[in-house]
Structure 1
Amino acid sequence: MESVIFMGTPEFSVPILKGLVEKGYDVKAVVTQPDKKVGRKQKITKTPAKVAAEELDIPVYQPVKLSGSPELDELMQMNADFIVTAAYGQFLPTKFLNSVKIAAVNVHGSLLPKYRGGAPIQYSLLNGDEETGITIMEMVKQMDAGDIYAQKAIKIEEDDNSGKLFEKLSYLGRDLLLETLPKIADGTIQKTPQDKDKVVFSPNISKEQEKITKEMTAKQAFNLIRALNPDPGAYMMVEGQRLKVWKAKVADEATSLNPGCVVANKGRFAISFADNSVLDLLELQPAGKKKMPVKNFLNGQGSKFTLGEEIVDE
């Protein structure tokens, strides 16, 4: 079986790495991002890919920057058949891509050329897409621009959020990769160039994009909430305080209230948005507190809001 240098960082990459090992590929190394401080206590935390690699007894490399590093020289000397990347998080030098015997392959969480970049899964939700999928592509110097080996689509369900889609796509990516690698190895697969006229980019989510505003419709707010769940979370400013919204649904009703007003606060907590739309808030996290269902919120600080009151700040 062919040898592989695997490169990945988040949980998305773990089923793909394990799938390669279970299928019998000789994974010579796992390259992942450096350990980083996480949470309020700033605890040094290993990446999910590193944890999996250590469980599988595979050597781990964690250069801060791969290009020009001693680690790069070591990796190139392995003369692997494949490089396989799955949400690694760094550009790879061209000489490294060219060092493998067969191909450098990327498992990408979108239907390219739509959503090149670091946040394809989030943007599929943010834009209210009906489907997303996996692309197995040839790696080139330009970001996510290589020829396509294979693609497979799945429907985006109403209750999907970013976390659920990451999990679904990681297993879809594993299966499609394992189906595609033998065809690349024996030369029976045909590559398809990406249509440059249909390229859409999905840059990493910015801090500014995390905020729910009154200018949004309820549907747009709903899409933002699920796109940013579980990380980093979307929030709205309510009477000067940050209120994270982890779960919501678009109400069937319309309202004549101005955007940002309380539509209902008895048994449900609903807010008016643009175009007379209404959003039911279902799971909330007030500043300095834990996540809670809306019932608990209403029993606490939510009870002070009155119907028709404008509570959402700009």
Structure 2
Amino acid sequence: MIVFMGTPEFSVPILEMLIKENYPVGLVVTQPDRVVGRKKELQKSPVKQLAESYGIEVFQPEKLRLDYQYVIDKKPSLIVTASYGQILPKALLDTIPAVNIHGSLLPKYRGGAPIQYALFNGDKETGITLMEMAFKMDSGAMIEKRTIEILDSDDYGTLSQKLSYIGRDLLKENIDKVLAKNYTAIPQNEDEVTFAFTLKYEDEALDFNKTVFWNHNRIRGLSPNVGAHFVYRNVLVKVFKSHKSDIMDLNPGEIRIIGKRLVIGCLDGGIELDLIQQAGKKLMPVRDYLNGQTLFENGGIING
């Protein structure tokens, strides 16, 4: 029996492959349902929705490190994780073999936000690593890696989806060898380790004292699900799409409206916002937003 651990959309194709290929997934572990939206409705994770559609038992501990015995009692032959969102306790890893589908070319970008950081840093390639699980975060030996080009048009949504499918295929090609314990794993080079820790709210903020490149890539790495943000006149504005402006003579944080265009100065030029959402309003293209807004009237300077 296999236990699968995952939570977001990234995990769904991987779990679905295991199910459709008739691997014996007997338990799915996912994050607890969370309250979302203005109506404060409980929302099931995408992985839970898929598991329930196939009648697979779901286990949702608030803190797996304190509530893992149920998994051990199932006596699975393997745990497969893919973007679960919690660290597996040592007692669990000491008892049950486990592999992970990680969204980077390890040892680069250990941590919970590898796809975001590849975009933040303007990387030209990234990939998936199928790895053994170890108690130290993302430190296990590597079974196989696969590389993918990052396109200029990619954002978190498109890149995450591509990597999810690569992870699915990589696991499909290797799972029989993993189950039979008939594979070679290569230790990671600790001298090459970098980290991509789970993002905090302040990591999602734009900084117009930095370059256009820095701000544009921050927007790419947070779209379309979270959005990068800034505050102007005590109003939160989220940005989901942008491009480098041909307007260069702007001071950092300076706002300029030209027709139906909204440009903000950065350290080395202007960034043009294409898709934004003001707090309390709908997500909309800037050309439509500017028709009725008053927030950016007469321009101004964004401080901080």
TM-score (structure 2 length as normaliser): 0.94
AA aligned to 1:54 is E
Matched, 1:271 2:264: yes
* Paired position in structure 1 for 2:23: 25
Give the CA RMSD over aligned residues. 1.8
Spell out, residue by residue over 1:115-136, the C-alpha distance to the aligned partner (whole angstroms, 9 max, x if none).
Answer: 1111111111111111111110
Aligned residue for 1:260?
253
**2:283 pairs with 1:285:** no
* Number of residue equivalences: 304
Residue 114, structure 1, aligned to residue 108, structure 2:
yes
CA contact under 8 A between 1:119 and 1:204: conserved in structure 2? yes
Residue 183 in structure 1 maps to residue 177 in structure 2:
yes
1:78 counterpart residue number: 74
After superposing on structure 2, the runs of 4+ consecutive aligned residues of structure 1 that deviate more than 6 Å are none
The equivalent position to 1:66 in structure 2, one of 64, 67, 84, is 64
What are the residue-to-residue correspondences of 1:4-23 with 2, within 5 Å?
Answer: 4-23=2-21
Deviations 1:159-217 (A, max 9, x none): 21112222111111111011111222344421111010111111111111222122121
Letter aligned with residue 28 of structure 1: G
Secondary structure, aligned partner of 1:98: helix
Q: Measure the CA separation in 2 of the matches of 1:82 and 1:304.
A: 55
The equivalent of 2:117 in structure 1 is: 123
Q: Are positions 1:311 and 2:301 aligned together?
A: yes
**Structure 2 residues without counterparts, runs of 5 or longer:** none
Are 2:292 and 1:296 aligned? no
More off after superposition, 131-140 vs 59-68 = 59-68
Mapped partners of 1:245, 1:288: distance in 2 = 14
Contact 1:285 1:292 in 2 (8 A): yes
1:99 paired with 2:95, answer yes
Identity of matched residues, %: 44
Q: Find the aligned partners of 2:189 and 2:151 in 1 and give their Cα distance.
A: 27
Q: Distance in 2 between matches of 1:73 and 1:260?
A: 53
1:239 CA drift (Å): 3.4
CA contact (8 A) 1:5 1:84 kept: yes
Q: Quick check: 1:149–1:189 contact (8 Å CA) kept in 2?
A: yes
User: Quick check: 2:121–2:217 contact (8 Å CA) kept in 1?
Assistant: yes
1:149-164, aligned counterparts within 5 Å? 149-164=143-158
Instruction: Determine whether 1:194 maps to 2:188.
Output: yes
**What code does the residue aligned with 1:45 have?**
Q
> Which stretch shifts more, 283-292 or 226-235?
226-235
Q: CA 1:304/1:9 → structure 2, altered by over 3 Å: closer, same or farther?
A: closer
User: Residues of 1 paired with 2:176 and 2:24: CA distance?
Assistant: 14
Secondary structure, counterpart of 1:175 in structure 2: helix
Contact 2:250 2:270 in 1 (8 A): no
Cα pair 2:78 2:179 within 8 Å, conserved = no
Which one of 215, 221, 226 corresponds to residue 220 of structure 2? 226
Query: 1:123 and 1:303, CA in 2 relative to 1: closer, same or farther beyond 3 A?
Result: closer
Quick one: distance in 1 between partners of 2:102 and 2:296? 47
TM-score, structure 1 normalization: 0.91
Between the aligned partners of 1:120 and 1:303, the Cα distance in structure 2 is: 35
SS in structure 2 of the partner of residue 146 of structure 1: coil
Contact 2:116 2:156 in 1 (8 A): yes
Q: State the SS of the aligned residue for 1:67.
A: helix
1:43 equivalent in alignment to 2:33: no
User: Unaligned regions of 5+ residues in structure 1, if any?
Assistant: none
* CA distance in structure 1 between the partners assigned to 2:256 and 2:79 by the alignment: 54
Deviation per residue, 1:75-105 (Å, 9 max, x gap): 21332221100111112122322333xx310
For the Cα contact (< 8 Å) 1:282–1:293, is it kept in 2?
yes
**How big is each residue's C-alpha offset from its partner over 1:260-313, in whole Å with a ceiling of 9 and x where there is no partner?**
2234521322222102x211110111121001111112222269644xx53322
